[in-house]
Structure 1
């Protein structure tokens, strides 16, 4: 039973990527990472996003998946780590053959650590 729990946690944690990995390559013009804001809210509700993020709502991701480059690694985020939109988006990306992760700290943790965000133009 202990081995099964460890294997489950190992698989679960492999779905996430830490903020420090993203930060290390965020300013590189040829970064392999693309940060996707998958929140379904309108811009006036969202107000800001992780600096440089590409906004594709989770509800639209399957329809827009052909816009994405399979040579990139996608990092999806939602409001908080406990919500499901990031997981829905991650499922769509992985099912379509993309390399992808969910940002472990989500937007709430990112902002809590005072990491770079930008205002969304209305």
Structure 2
């Protein structure tokens, strides 16, 4: 693989936080963002706003929750974490269209983009109506 092929493949498989934010604002119904980080809930309580939380370790049992008609964007901790890449490969093998959010939650927070804290959410506030 030459350098051009490498960079084209990288661009095909990833999306930057800035690009994802812009794209999701224009066509929010096109994307399905998943936080795939593993670990105790208290250390992963801060998530990207509107992300679905499906840890990698639960993916097999929760695959039915992921729509096949949307572009799936997965993220994990940061550039050193490869959990999102593992999930992306798993989903691609099953026919999903997937990209990894580069830099994970760390890059998102660094850009001061919208986040949610799942520990501050009171389940009784969500009546489902």
TM range (shorter): 0.7 to 0.9
Partner of 2:29: 31
Partner of 2:61: 63
Tell me the number of residue pairs that the alignment of Structure 1 and Structure 2 aligns: 120
Residues 1:120 and 2:118 aligned together = yes
Alpha-carbon distance between aligned partners in 2 of 1:11 and 1:28, rounded to the nearest angstrom: 24
Partner of 2:5: 7
Q: Name the SS for the 1:39 alignment partner.
A: coil
Q: Is there any run of 5+ residues in structure 1 with no aligned partner, and where?
A: none
CA displacement 1:3-27 (0-9 Å, x = unmatched) = 6232123213321012233212545
Q: Which contiguous aligned blocks of 4+ residues in structure 1 show a shift greater than 4 angstroms? A: 27-30
Report the RMSD for the aligned CA atoms in angstroms: 2.0
TM-score (norm: length of structure 2): 0.82
